[in-house]
Amino acid sequence: MPATIRAPRVYEQIVGHIERTIYDGRLREGQKLPPERQLARDLKASRVAVREALRTLELRGLVEVRQGSTGGYFVREVDDRPLVRDFETLFRLGRVSWPHLIEARRLIEPEVASLAAQRATEVDIKNLGAALEQRWEHTVTGPAAHQFDLEFHRALAEAARNPVHAVITHALIELEAEVLAPSPELTESDSAQVEAAHRRIFEAVAAGNAGEARAAMAAHIEDVQARLERAVV
């Protein structure tokens, strides 16, 4: 007996319609969607169905709600938040572990550094240098510089000019920030070593030396992993 095929619910049809308008460019990033009342009228659906569709699109990361007199539903700018959310869920469920995260970074980030050395523009080099200087200034004032370390890795991923690498790298870095939040801070010596490693990577990228950039990043990931493991013992 053939399986019964369920007809899409009204709100699912609305979701599909709005998705298509976003994917084909009729609705662009940052553009405001029509009000619920107008959507219901245009799509010949109830406001309840429209509201459910908008909630679904929000959960999928395609639209966002903005408050205030000029608020409403807007097409969300493309970022890594949906991927970060999914990774974080897997981590909380115990299906992704800290070793998994490090293993992924070992595979991806040395290649990202290599590509950055081949493709970085003058603007990219300036951004990387600025991330290094901000970290140095931040360390001098006393607080932990971990967020500036992450910013350096983000800037490097952007310089690689591969949006797939950039999104994955950003997601892994964001997940690491969540995972490491309760962990002990690195010592002053550890922090100095991290800064030195970042400078070696920066110099290799600025010089266009892809092999040296790859090797410096691989050594950096291994070193940070060893230091973190010692810190939690």
3-state secondary structure 151-164: HHHHHHHHHCCCHH
The pLDDT value recorded for residue 144 is 58
pLDDT at residue 179 tops 70: no
Using DSSP's 3-state secondary structure scheme, residue 3 falls into coil
pLDDT one-digit tens code per residue, 105-154: 899 999 999 999 999 999 999 999 998 988 877 765 545 566 788 889 98
The pLDDT value recorded for residue 170 is 85
Q: Kindly give, in sequence order, each residue whose CB lies less than 8 Å from that of residue 144, ignoring residues fewer than 6 positions away.
A: 185, 186, 191
pLDDT one-digit tens code per residue, 61-99: 899 999 988 899 999 887 777 777 788 888 888 888 888
The pLDDT value recorded for residue 34 is 94
The span from the CA of 111 to the CA of 161, in Å, is 12
More confident residue, 32 or 227: 32
Phi (first) and psi of residue 79, to 5 degrees: -150, -170
The pLDDT value recorded for residue 14 is 95
What are the structural domain ranges in the chain? 10-75, 81-231
| pTM confidence score | 0.71
The pLDDT value recorded for residue 1 is 47
In CATH, the number for domain 10-75 is 1.10.10.10
pLDDT at residue 43 tops 50: yes
More confident residue, 225 or 219: 219
Alpha helices (H) in the chain, listed in sequence order: 10-23, 36-43, 47-59, 81-92, 98-119, 122-141, 146-159, 163-180, 188-206, 210-231
pLDDT band at 8 (very low <50, low <70, confident <90, very high): confident
The pLDDT value recorded for residue 100 is 86
The architecture that CATH gives domain 81-231 is: Up-down Bundle (1.20)
The span from the CA of 105 to the CA of 209, in Å, is 20
